[in-house]
Chain A
Amino acid sequence: MKEKRTVSEEVKANIKHYNKMKKLIKDALKEGPKTIPEIAKATELPAHEATYYVMSMRKYGDVVTGEIDDMDEYFYYHLNQKN
């Protein structure tokens, strides 16, 4: 396949970007569970991007959902200790 097809720069950039986001979020969560606005603040990501990446990481088992905050507004997310 590699002889017939080359991987586009866009695909390579996308992988790099996702890995960077994943590392940023993992680093932020190493300090303890955080809500999405807290993750966004710690990583300096826009909140909607933080939502997208946290939910994608949750889907693939890197992150798990914890308790909801005292105001019943935001869930806490933490690193999956099994990984």
Chain B
Amino acid sequence: MENEVLSYDALVIGGGIAGEETALNLAKMDYKVLLVEKELSIGGKMILLSKVFPTLDCAACITTPKVSETARHPNITIFTGSEVKGVEKKGERNFEARILRQPRYVKEDACTGCQECEPVCPVVVKDQYQFNLVGRKAVFVPFSIANPRIAAIDIENCSLCGACERACPADAIDFSQEPEEKTYQFKSVVVATGYKLFDPIKMPRYGYGRYKNIITSMQMERELAPTRPFNTILRPGDGKMPDNLAYVLCTGSRDHTVGNPICSQVCCMYSIKQAQLLMGALPMADVTIYYLHIRSFGKGFNEFYETAKGMGVEFVKGKIGKISEKENGNLVLRYDDIETGQVKEVEHDMVVLSVGILANDEIGQVFKTQKLEFDDYRYVKQIDELKRPAMTNIDGVFVAGAASGPMDIPDSILSAGSASSEAASYLALTE
């Protein structure tokens, strides 16, 4: 690539809300930033949400201006579909990172995102950006508000038929592209790798995967979003519009048996948010939330919880033991009613598992010369959590957002502010 810059002030790993905020803050201070994102679009998990709590603002409407600003800022270079393979600290304000860029097999400067290639592609595989609820083509624009909004070819599933090449009006398909690994120089590094969602397949007693009308909260986010996979909210098991839904809180969090004993901070509130949205979308539906404790600790959270109760959402303090399926696809929840001490069974026609969030600790193996330290729960260790929360054990490497622990969107943005301030202070010492 001609005129390629190989040296930057900061490497920001992760293009979610924390990574974007960090990159923007640094870029506005005139630092040159390289933002590396493993997915095909920046925006992280937030861009895939329906609305945010407790304001019920449209998530896409809030996040896309920031995504756009990040993508258009002259001081920020973005690599999507890319991974940081190794970071070596060579000295103070001297980091070397190997970055692998996977090819899209589409010329980024030529593709207009018109999606003319999609209808002609004969391949349909599960759409990871719709959490497998619907199919996508082997050549695809990840989702309608993706940034960059350009197509990519899933080469593992491509039939190499050439139909997309023939259909593309911009002549943007390029099968000659190859993976490219290069070494870049940085003065500082910010880890903003976010979190992983708990996979409820690890809790067979809940039947996720086996019973088709049990979905995760992230799948429900997609069903509630304007760019939803179905025409409305439907059971994936048979396309029925549900009218009696259950939420199971703390699925994969506060649970030693699955190795995640801590609270995920966001599940209570996003479940209450979804319940409110469901009451709006399905006015005749009953929504019941099975909980251990409702943790509505933030500004406006308790009022939001009270609003849900006022709207008719039922809250049952109970621990779910087992879920079984009836012949008609309805689910029977067997639970310990904590208020009465009785074991009860109740039938619902759709169940949403409010999955917890887990540390994304793969970033650990990236740091070669000095190991990045993690806390007891595999989040990046904050060496001075109260006074300097963005500091890690490696001088010049900072942490932003949920990479340091479970947190909601406003806290991630706040954390990114701290990380960018620390990085700027560190960079200022060279000037």
Interface residues of A (CB under 8 A from B): 1-2, 5, 7, 11-12, 14-15, 18-19, 35-37, 40, 47-48, 50-56, 58-61, 65, 68, 72-75
Contacts and interface: CB of A to CB of B under 8 A. Distances in A.
B175 A54 contact: no
B327 to A, nearest CB: 12
A11 B239 contact: no
Contact of B237 (A12, A35, A47, A58): A47
Contacts of A2: 160
A59 B228 CA distance: 10
Given A51-B236, A75-B239, A18 B175 contact: no
Contacts of B230: 55
Given A1-B175, A14-B123, A14-B125, A52 B157 contact: no
B165 to A, nearest CB: 10
B303 to A, nearest CB: 32
Q: Is the interface of A mostly helix, strand, loop or mixed?
A: helix
B220 to A, nearest CB: 15
A15 B136 CA distance: 12
Interface string B236-265: 111111000000000000000000000000
Given A18-B124, A55-B133, A60-B118, A11 B238 contact: no
A68 B135 contact: no
A37 B175 CA distance: 41
Interface in B128-182: 133-137, 155-160, 175-176
Contacts of B155: 5
Contacts of A36: 238-240
A65 B234 CA distance: 13
A69 to B, nearest CB: 10
Contacts of B239: 35-37, 47, 50-51, 54, 74-75
Interface of B: 118-119, 122-125, 133-137, 155-160, 175-176, 212, 229-232, 234-241, 284, 329
A10 B124 CA distance: 12
A51 B234 contact: yes
Given A5-B155, A72-B241, 9 more contacts: A1-B160, A7-B160, A11-B157, A12-B159, A47-B238, A48-B212, A50-B238, A56-B134, A74-B239
A38 B127 CA distance: 25
A52 B231 contact: no
18 contacts: A2-B160, A5-B155, A7-B159, A11-B157, A15-B159, A35-B239, A40-B238, A48-B238, A51-B238, A52-B134, A53-B135, A54-B239, A55-B229, A56-B134, A60-B119, A60-B137, A74-B239, A75-B234
Given A18-B123, A52-B134, A73 B241 contact: yes
A49 B41 CA distance: 29
The 7 closest A-B CB pairs, nearest first, are A36-B239, A56-B135, A1-B175, A47-B238, A48-B212, A65-B231, A55-B134
* Centre residue among A54, A58, A72, A73 by max chain B CB count within 10 A: A73
